[in-house]
């Protein structure tokens, strides 16, 4: 049985390091894991409850994204790091997907986070912030393994393909771990009392 993952990057740049990272994840997905990418976050308007009043499901791009998230088995998010935090785009997406309160697309959704940056810290601050926001929205964020790609401009070739074997190995480890994480949180083991 195939596990369907929706992946996206929190950067709007067409050739950002994090879009490259999501494409690499799609291309390196292990057997049994299918990763589809959503590259249209620029079409998602700023969150506004007045828009919710007009469109309860959200404007078209929001409704589509919510549907994709709801019907996926998990989310793979590549976050950039801006000023030691997540991008405004990423926060906006979390805000939309955390609504409405009684039917949030993120509620109970398994999520894996990764990120690439030109800096030496590899999106550590942004991943911490994103993990906090996603958890507050009800997502079940995978604690390990983590993927922090530092000096990301060196990890990709001039065509934008992943060219660093160490990063590739860690990305495959993250994807394999995420596949197991989804299975675990989707069907948690049951504890049976001894002598019962």
What local confidence, expressed as pLDDT, does residue 23 receive?
Answer: 98
In 43-127, at which residue ranges do the beta strands (DSSP E only) sit?
74-78, 110-116
What local confidence, expressed as pLDDT, does residue 196 receive?
Answer: 56
For the chain, give the longest Cα–Cα distance: 63
| pLDDT confidence tier of residue 52, bands split at 50, 70 and 90 | confident
**Residues 6 or more apart in contact with residue 142 via CB below 8 angstroms:** 110, 111, 112, 113, 177, 178, 181
Each residue's pLDDT tens digit, 100-152? 888 899 999 999 999 999 998 899 999 999 999 999 999 999 999 999 999 99
Does 55 have pLDDT greater than 90?
no
Q: Homologous superfamily of 3-186 in CATH?
A: Flavodoxin domain (3.40.50.360)
Arithmetic mean of pLDDT over the chain: 94
What local confidence, expressed as pLDDT, does residue 57 receive?
Answer: 77
CA angle 60, 62, 110 (to 5 degrees): 145
What local confidence, expressed as pLDDT, does residue 179 receive?
Answer: 98
What local confidence, expressed as pLDDT, does residue 94 receive?
Answer: 98
Does 191 have pLDDT greater than 80?
no
């Amino acid at each position: 049985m195939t596990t369907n993952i929706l992946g996206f990057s929190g950067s709007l740049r067409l050739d950002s390091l994090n879009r490259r990272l999501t494409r690499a994840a799609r291309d390196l997905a292990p057997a049994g894991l299918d990763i589809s990418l959503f590259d249209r976050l620029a079409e998602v308007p700023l969150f506004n409850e007045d828009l919710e009043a007009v469109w309860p499901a959200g404007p078209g791009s929001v409704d589509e994204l919510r549907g994709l998230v709801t019907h996926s088995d998990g989310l793979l998010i590549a976050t950039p790091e801006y000023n030691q935090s997540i991008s405004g785009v990423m926060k906006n997406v979390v805000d939309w997907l955390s609504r409405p309160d009684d039917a949030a697309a993120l509620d109970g959704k398994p999520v894996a986070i990764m990120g690439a940056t030109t800096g030496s810290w590899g999106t550590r601050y942004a991943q911490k912030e994103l993990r906090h926001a996603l958890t507050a929205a009800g997502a079940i964020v995978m604690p390990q393994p983590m993927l922090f790609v530092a000096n990301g401009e060196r990890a990709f070739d001039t065509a934008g393909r992943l060219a660093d074997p160490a990063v590739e190995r860690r990305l495959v480890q993250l994807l394999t771990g995420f596949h197991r994480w989804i299975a675990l949180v989707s069907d948690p083991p049951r504890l049976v009392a001894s002598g019962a």
